[in-house]
Amino acid sequence: MKNSLRIARFFGIDIELHLTFLVLLVFFLSVMGIKGILLVAGVFICVTTHELSHSLAARYFGMRVRKITLLPIGGIASVSGYPRTPRAEMLISFAGPLSNILIMAVFYFPLYFYLGADKFFSTLNIIRGSSEIAGIKDLIMYVYWLNMVIAVFNLMPAFPMDGGRILRAWLSYRCGREKATKIAVRTGHIFALCFAYLGIVYGHIFLLIIAVFVYTSATGEEESVSVEEYLVRFRVGDVISRKAVCLSPEMTLSDLYGQVLSSDQEIYPVLSEGGFKGIFMKDDIFKSYRGDKAAIKVRDIMTCDPMTVKAEDRLDTARKLMIETKSGALTVLNEGSVTGIVTMNDIMRAYLMAKELGEGKGL
Alpha-carbon distance 69 to 51, whole Å? 9
| Cα separations in angstroms, 271 against 100, 279, 297 | 48, 9, 13
Residue 1: per-residue pLDDT: 47
289-295 contacts, C-beta under 8 A, 24 or more apart: 291/253, 293/252, 293/253, 293/254, 293/257, 294/252, 294/253, 294/254, 295/252
Residue 363: per-residue pLDDT: 42
Q: Could you confirm whether domain 236-360 is CATH 3.40.630.30?
A: no
Q: What angle, 0 to 180 degrees and rounded to 10, lies between the N-to-C axes of helices 162-175 and 86-115?
A: 150
Listing from the earlier edge strand, what are the strands of the sheet with 4-10? Answer: 4-10, 13-18, 64-71, 74-80
Helices (H) and strands (E) in the chain, counts: 14, 10
Instruction: State whether residue 138 is helix, strand or coil.
Output: helix
Q: Which residues of the chain have pLDDT under 70?
A: 1-2, 81, 123-134, 241-242, 257-262, 274, 284-295, 336, 357-363
Bridge partner residues of 268 (DSSP): 280
In the chain, where the domains are located: 1-155, 157-231, 236-360
Alpha-carbon distance 304 to 122, whole Å? 55
| Cα separations in angstroms, 257 against 282, 292, 330 | 10, 12, 21
| Cα separations in angstroms, 40 against 15, 33, 187 | 16, 11, 31
Q: What angle, 0 to 180 degrees and rounded to 10, lies between the N-to-C axes of helices 136-154 and 86-115?
A: 160
Instruction: State whether residue 332 is helix, strand or coil.
Output: strand
Residue 22: per-residue pLDDT: 78
